[in-house]
């Protein structure tokens, strides 16, 4: 599993390409050649960039769902809507396809934010708003999610 670190600002050019910041590229150096999957986020107006290995692991989980259960089929359709395979060009730029560009509302200023094993790609204004909105509730959220960690066995509840 990849454990990515950092939040980086960059700019998208008029064609919708963005240069992966070098600290992020270094973290991904061993897997750059495998490519990535870019998709809509489930919960936010941003994009999620999965290294191919991480995407394949996610798809292995999704593939276990029984497709004869309607809600599973609906979930799979929505989860994979707009999914694209992307690669970095020789200059280290990644093209954000038009439909994903429109979904995310990305303008010129972009934030790439590590989210454990994936990278969230945000329009800078939307990212700042999402972070500001989350700040108010973060203490309660942290307690709800991490407050039941048992230090003896390091399991989450």
Does residue 157 register a pLDDT over 70?
no
Residue 76 domain flag? yes
Residue 151 domain flag? no
At 146, the pLDDT band (50, 70, 90 cuts) reads: confident
Residue 154 domain flag? no
Write the pLDDT tens digit of every residue in 12-68: 999 999 999 999 999 998 998 899 999 999 999 999 999 999 999 999 999 999 999
Helix, strand, coil shares, percent, the chain, to 5: 40, 25, 35
pLDDT of residue 143: 80
Domain span at residue 13?
Answer: 7-146
Residue 155 domain flag? no
CATH of the domain at 98: 3.40.1550.20
Number of domains in the chain: 1
Q: pTM for the complete prediction?
A: 0.87
Residue 52 domain flag? yes
110 near 52, Cβ under 8 Å?
no
């Amino acid at each position: 599993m990849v454990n990515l670190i950092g939040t980086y600002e960059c700019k998208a050019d008029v064609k919708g390409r963005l240069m992966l910041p070098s600290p992020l590229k270094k973290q991904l150096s061993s897997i750059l050649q495998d490519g990535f999957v870019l998709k809509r986020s489930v919960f936010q107006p941003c994009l999620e960039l999965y290294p191919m290995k991480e995407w394949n692991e996610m798809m292995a989980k999704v593939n276990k769902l029984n497709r004869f259960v309607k809600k599973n089929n609906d979930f799979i359709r929505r989860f994979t809507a707009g999914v694209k395979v992307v690669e970095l060009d020789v200059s280290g730029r990644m093209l954000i396809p038009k439909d994903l560009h429109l979904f995310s509302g990305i303008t010129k200023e972009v934030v790439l934010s590590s989210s454990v094993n994936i990278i969230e790609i945000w329009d800078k204004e939307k990212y700042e708003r999402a972070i500001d909105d989350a700040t108010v509730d973060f203490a309660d959220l942290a307690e709800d999610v991490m407050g039941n960690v048992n230090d003896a066995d390091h399991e989450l509840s």
